[in-house]
Amino acid sequence: MNFRSVLYIIGLLISTFGCMMAIPALFDLFNEHKNWSIFASTGIISFLMGITIILAFKNKNAKIGTRETFLLSVMSWIILAGISALPIYLSDLNLSYTDAFFEATSGITTTGSTILVNIENSSNGILIWRSILQWLGGVGIIVMAVAALPLLHMSGLQLFFSDQIEPNDKLRERVKNLAKTIIIIYTSFTFICVLLLSLTGMNIFDSICHSMTTIATGGYSTKNISIGHFDSIFIELIIIVGMIAASLPFIIYAKSLNNIKSIFIDKQVRGFLIIIFCSVLIIAIWLNLKLGFNFLESLRASSFNVISIITGTGYSTEDFSQWGSFAISLLFIFMLIGGCTGSTTGGIKIFRIQILFKVLLQQIQKVIRPHQILKITYSKGIIDDKTTLSILAIIFLFIISVIIVASLLYWIGLDLLTAFSAAVTSIAVVGPGLSSEIGPIGNFSNLPDQAKWILCASMIIGRLEFLAVLLLIMPSFWK
């Protein structure tokens, strides 16, 4: 294990986050809010700490291998969450470090769960910092998905790389160039969203914050009642398009720059859009028939909130915890789905669900024709056994993690719905839960500290796709 290389990159990340703290410091300084000095001092200390680590562990000949990549992925999320929590903890919000760490972890993992009771009373620096954390976390998880997860054959992105043919150096160069292109696309989407929201009449500050958290599918809002505060169908439509765009594979965007129509040829994209259409329609019909919404109102409420749940964004315009047991049950299932592989969303992911169904069909066909050799194909490529087993392992780990976390939360004292929805929303990095306490108009502030730390761990594990974390506790990984 090349620890020098890992610590060197962590130093770079810490110094980068230190520099980013200058942005909220300037916002609070401009508004003459005392939090500016906290962001400035914390940013300077973080920057100097990062520079010290860089100088101590700089090594021109060092290379990052597979093991270093996964160690870096886990360590960076934990360390950066801890550093990002400092200005929140030291601010005038008067939060405990547990609450500050929860808010920062939820931000950087793009979960969107919050412990802030009166969001609108927070300084602009705090609000923009929360949005920055989600924006950086969103682009970070895409780059990790492109660079790291294919090494485990657990994301499906390896189908885009012919790693059995190309030398490692050439493959690394392709991944590096692809990551740069994706960052440019991600940033462009954010600027487009800012422009469109500004044109609807939303002020520039709210436009910037909501654009960053929309493209990151994070869901942090500057308002207590989220997007429902604006009560604008045009704002909702723009954010819906943004959430869907951020939930599609960014690697597809990079490969389709010269032919945008080819995006919709991808099986994963088509499957995702079909699921969204069916889910929105079912909930809309339920709201219309059972809760007395007129059809247009039900379609508007269903479209925004269902898409927000499926994409793991976590925005809301309605208190969907009051939509009845049928709707809550479906929303619980929607939390598990997530978007496409290589996007900013969490959840199981469409690709894995599609492969799971193909495996089930393969097993049925084997029973009917036991001597026939059957291969699982996807987008004209053959899915090897290693990829299939990794996908099944991820789905199994997802379900087991939800059961374990929910059991722990229930044991601590949470009611059953709160415990299970909190477990799912943290592991699938969705945001709000389904009970009145942690639902769209609630927050996580009243949960016990033990529950908050469990949920912090769940958010990091869920964001890093389970196996990346489990690898580090295996003795064979360190040999």
Q: Which of 113, 106, 116 is nearest to 137 (CA)?
A: 106
Q: Is 318 in contact with 440 (CB distance < 8 Å)?
A: yes
**Longest Cα–Cα distance in the chain:** 76
Specify the pLDDT at position 400: 93
Specify the pLDDT at position 166: 39
Question: Amino acid identity, residue 42?
Answer: T
Phi, psi of 338 (to 5 degrees): 75, -175
Three-state secondary structure string covering 379-444: CCEECCHHHHHHHHHHHHHHHHHHHHHHHHHHHHCCCHHHHHHHHHHHHCCCCCCCCCCCCCCCCC
CA distance 159 to 287: 41
Specify the pLDDT at position 273: 94
Specify the pLDDT at position 61: 64
Domain spans of the chain, in order of start? 1-94, 386-478
Tokens describing residue 219: 């869901």
Q: pLDDT digit of tens for each residue in the chain (479 aa)?
A: 778 888 888 998 999 999 999 999 999 999 999 999 999 999 999 999 999 999 998 876 666 777 777 788 888 889 999 999 999 999 999 999 999 999 999 999 999 999 998 899 999 999 999 999 999 998 887 776 666 555 544 444 444 433 333 344 555 566 677 778 888 999 999 999 999 999 999 999 999 999 999 999 999 999 999 999 999 999 999 999 999 999 998 888 888 877 777 788 888 899 999 999 999 999 999 999 988 889 999 999 999 999 999 999 999 999 998 898 899 999 999 999 988 888 889 889 998 898 889 888 888 888 888 777 778 877 777 777 777 888 888 889 899 999 999 999 999 999 999 999 999 999 999 989 888 889 888 899 999 999 999 999 999 998 887 777 787 887 877 77
Q: Which of 8, 95, 100 is nearest to 453 (CA)?
A: 100
